[in-house]
Chain A
Amino acid sequence: MDFQLTDEQRALKDGTRELLAGRFGRDRLRAAVEEPAPDRALWRELGAAGFFALRLPERDGGVGLGLPEAVLVLEEAGRALLPGPLVACLLLAGLVDGVATGERIAGLCDGAREPLLWEHPAGCDELILLEGDDGPAGGEADGRAEGAPGRTGGAYRSAPDRVPCAPFASVDPLTPLARVLDLPRTEPVAVDVPRLRREAALLTAAQQLGSAVRTVEMAAGHAREREQFGVPIGSFQAVKQLCAQMLVRAEIARSAVYAASVTESALDITGAKLLADEAAVRNARDCLQVHGGMGFTWEADVHLHLKRAWWHAERWGTAGGAEELLAAGLIA
């Protein structure tokens, strides 16, 4: 047992952080708030760096890495608030031509919950739709009974202009959303849908973890610098304890997410998503609180973390379903 990052994993994580810091710094982030369409040039750069082909076998032009590495990379993406259908492209790189290199952008729409939401509807070159099922908590219920194909639901590919949808004002300014009004079941694709759902949940949890870690840093950084009553506000116990609780939440989420990436167990992934969602949402709120009035402004980045966390918490298994599934696991 050596439940720590290997040197290669650490290098991958650091390298991703550097790449994103160089290509998606604060200026780019704020520009994206005004113009949230995926940045095609950046997408191609990420593709060239192997971001999307991370898990493709080397014989298929990929990097040949595993789920733990994908988690580390997406943790960094979540930390940087990188927008776009990242999880979809990472999971569909072997299925949709051009996605592995970043030339084309594929979206992934989960039919397990109403309403069916589609992120970046104007930015996708192709959409993969996953059918819903009758499980109590969406697709993850199937994952638990591994190899139970009867209730998996199908997957269909579609050109974006053939999907009837209704855009609406997304609460996350970096993630345009639309409601999908009808699932065109015209062109089935052969994918392991339960597995896709599990991995999408885990990679979304990884982004939540990254955001939770980042908001701890933001809160602690602000608490060290900002002075009130003649001292840094970080010297006040009330502020200190908020920050400490944030760190604890992030570290618990990290243990759960990393372990789930190793075990790939459906229950571990469900628990990891639950804890990462909680860490991202609550840390963003506490970070906002530590920032005081500044935190309530559009100018500060805190609200972007909170809004992204809300969006991610709605995807691939929500708290209620996760808790039910975990409860069922206790008596299984």
Chain B
Amino acid sequence: MDLSCTPEEEDFRARLRRWLGEVLPKLPAPPAATDWPGRRAYDTAWQRMLYDAGYAGLHWPRDAGGQGATPAQHLIFLEETERAGAPYVGANFVGLLHAGPTLAAEGTAEQRARWLPPILRGEEIWCQGFSEPDAGSDLAALRTRAVRDGDDYVISGAKIWTSHAEVADWCELLVRTDPAAPRHRGISWLAMPMDAPGVTVRPLRTLAGSTEFAEVFLDEVRVPVTHRVGAENDGWRVTMVTLSFERGTAFVGEVVACRRVLGELARAARANGRWDDAVLRRRLGRLSAEFTALWRLTQWNVSEAMRGAARGGQRGSGGVPGAGGSVFKLRYSHARQELYDAAAEVLGAGALDADHAWVADRLSSLSYTIAAGTSQIQQNIVAERILGLPKGR
């Protein structure tokens, strides 16, 4: 058990810190939360800066256009960018964390050459067309149909909770290509251009007042068969690759942010007198142990993935995270909600001001136990895949 960094890793950290110190002061002010085109422009510009500095796709394999960095370096990257207050991955989220890694792992040479570079350069935004109005957590119940017509699939159906749909160029789309097959076997994974005729996006307003996501209606949309990633009807397996990336790595950088926010809460509480409340103080103390442990669990999971990669299990991405990602996601999503509930206690009546950053984060934290597989689904995954409990109803 070794938590220390190698000289190479420390060198990487030092260079990154220097670069962040140079570029972050030059960044324009972030756009308003409701300004989606502005947010897209801001997020993609940041991605371009990362690309130009050689930090784009840091942990992606080199043959996918990435830097082939070790997972430990990726962890340092997440830690340092958060510590320096760098922008989040934002609108580039699906491309960099889901679609990109999936394309890198499952795409053909042509597909990788077509789609990976624009993701890395911040030129194209992806969204995720997995969930459907009547399927929800039961992803395999999806009904959007794709029928072969010559060299195209003709797609009809509807998707929901599609983040960034308003500004996305591409959609990683799950469709049913064989309605007669058992539900997990008749699904395919397609890359769909969002400007294709028949695609209609209707933004949904979240409880936070924002339009983070949308409904996407598909009316006889034609997508070339060459846009299919993986074999026809093999989309479920491809999807599991995507989801394990999502659960395994998506929230890692946020743990660092939560530790920072926790320190800010403590200082704010001391400034406004709430610190004298022993119940609140102890809650903050407990959360400190919680987020430290979550960071350690991250380091544990990343080290495990590095060993897997060293054994040749996966290429440079460091391996596909397994059910251990569910353990992390379960605990983190609840801890994050507790953090912002504690923030509300620190704020007192100020927690009613929806414009306060902590209040906005409190509202958005409500999605964490739902998005990317609800906590209840994650618990079933842990119980069945790690503890070997029988499948049931």
Which residue numbers of A lie inside 8 Å of B, CB to CB? 1-6, 9, 68, 216, 220, 223-224, 231-232, 234-237, 239-241, 243-245, 247-248, 251-256, 258-259, 261-263, 267-268, 270-272, 274-275, 320, 322-331
- Chain B residues, CB < 8 A from A254: 300
Q: Who on chain A is nearest to B269 by CB?
A: A331
Question: What are 18 of the A-B contact pairs (CB < 8 Å)?
Answer: A2-B1, A3-B299, A4-B1, A5-B1, A9-B1, A224-B390, A232-B389, A240-B379, A240-B389, A241-B379, A256-B289, A259-B292, A271-B292, A274-B286, A326-B285, A326-B288, A330-B266, A330-B284
B137, chain A: closest CB distance, angstroms: 12
B113, chain A: closest CB distance, angstroms: 33
Q: Given A4-B1, A244-B380, A248-B382, does the pair A271, B387 have CB atoms closer than 8 Å?
A: no
The residue from A6, A236, A271, A331 contacting B270, defined by CB atoms under 8 A apart: A331
Asked if B376 contacts A4 (CB within 8 A), the reply is no
Q: Given A240-B384, A274-B289, does the pair A3, B300 have CB atoms closer than 8 Å?
A: yes
A322, chain B: closest CB distance, angstroms: 7
Asked if B1 contacts A231 (CB within 8 A), the reply is no
* CA–CA, A273 and B80, complex, Å: 28
* Listed residue (B75, B285, B391) with the most chain A CB atoms within 10 angstroms of its CB: B285
Q: Who on chain A is nearest to B379 by CB?
A: A244
The residue from B2, B263, B266, B382 contacting A2, defined by CB atoms under 8 A apart: B2
Given contacts A256-B296, A272-B289, 5 further A-B contacts (CB under 8 A): A2-B306, A235-B389, A237-B376, A323-B282, A330-B263
Asked if B3 contacts A237 (CB within 8 A), the reply is no
Chain B: interface size category: 35 or more
Per-residue interface assignment for chain B, residues 116 to 136, with 1 indicating a CB less than 8 Å from any chain A CB and 0 otherwise: 000000000000000000000
Asked if B380 contacts A237 (CB within 8 A), the reply is yes
* CA–CA, A324 and B281, complex, Å: 7
The residue from B4, B9, B288, B383 contacting A327, defined by CB atoms under 8 A apart: B288
The residue from A9, A263, A328, A329 contacting B3, defined by CB atoms under 8 A apart: A263
Instruction: Indicate whether B297 reaches chain A with its CB closer than 8 angstroms.
Output: yes
- Chain A residues, CB < 8 A from B281: 323-324, 327
Instruction: Indicate whether B303 reaches chain A with its CB closer than 8 angstroms.
Output: yes
The residue from B294, B376, B392 contacting A231, defined by CB atoms under 8 A apart: B392
- Chain B residues, CB < 8 A from A241: 376, 379-380, 383
B58, chain A: closest CB distance, angstroms: 16
B297, chain A: closest CB distance, angstroms: 4
* CA–CA, A68 and B3, complex, Å: 12
- Chain B residues, CB < 8 A from A4: 1, 300, 303-304, 307
* CA–CA, A243 and B250, complex, Å: 25
- Chain A residues, CB < 8 A from B284: 326-327, 330
Asked if B293 contacts A248 (CB within 8 A), the reply is no
Give chain A's interface secondary structure class. Answer: helix
The residue from B2, B331, B389 contacting A252, defined by CB atoms under 8 A apart: B331
Identify which of residues 307-339 in chain B touch chain A, using a CB-to-CB cut-off of 8 Å.
307, 324, 327, 330-331
- Chain B residues, CB < 8 A from A259: 3, 292-293, 296, 299
Asked if A231 contacts B390 (CB within 8 A), the reply is yes
Identify which of residues 1-53 in chain B touch chain A, using a CB-to-CB cut-off of 8 Å.
1-6, 9
Asked if A3 contacts B1 (CB within 8 A), the reply is yes
Instruction: Indicate whether B388 reaches chain A with its CB closer than 8 angstroms.
Output: yes
Asked if A224 contacts B285 (CB within 8 A), the reply is no
* CA–CA, A299 and B232, complex, Å: 56
* CA–CA, A23 and B372, complex, Å: 46
Q: Who on chain B is nearest to A6 by CB?
A: B1
Q: Who on chain A is nearest to B387 by CB?
A: A220
Instruction: Indicate whether B214 reaches chain A with its CB closer than 8 angstroms.
Output: no
The residue from B72, B275, B304, B391 contacting A235, defined by CB atoms under 8 A apart: B391
Instruction: Indicate whether B262 reaches chain A with its CB closer than 8 angstroms.
Output: yes
State the 7 A-B residue pairs at the shortest beta-carbon distance, nearest first: A235-B392, A271-B289, A327-B285, A323-B285, A326-B285, A234-B389, A330-B266
* CA–CA, A268 and B284, complex, Å: 15
Q: Who on chain B is nearest to A241 by CB?
A: B379
Q: Given A4-B303, A241-B383, does the pair A262, B3 have CB atoms closer than 8 Å?
A: yes
A4, chain B: closest CB distance, angstroms: 5
Asked if B296 contacts A1 (CB within 8 A), the reply is no
Q: Who on chain A is nearest to B281 by CB?
A: A327
Asked if B262 contacts A1 (CB within 8 A), the reply is no
Q: Who on chain B is nearest to A239 by CB?
A: B389
Asked if B1 contacts A223 (CB within 8 A), the reply is no
Q: Who on chain B is nearest to A328 by CB?
A: B285
Q: Given A323-B285, A327-B281, does the pair A243, B267 have CB atoms closer than 8 Å?
A: no
Q: Given A240-B389, A275-B293, A322-B285, does the pair A68, B331 have CB atoms closer than 8 Å?
A: no
* CA–CA, A220 and B388, complex, Å: 8
* CA–CA, A94 and B348, complex, Å: 54
B252, chain A: closest CB distance, angstroms: 14
Asked if B282 contacts A320 (CB within 8 A), the reply is yes
* CA–CA, A325 and B292, complex, Å: 14
A187, chain B: closest CB distance, angstroms: 38
Asked if A258 contacts B294 (CB within 8 A), the reply is no
* Listed residue (B270, B299, B393) with the most chain A CB atoms within 10 angstroms of its CB: B299
A298, chain B: closest CB distance, angstroms: 27
* CA–CA, A275 and B302, complex, Å: 21
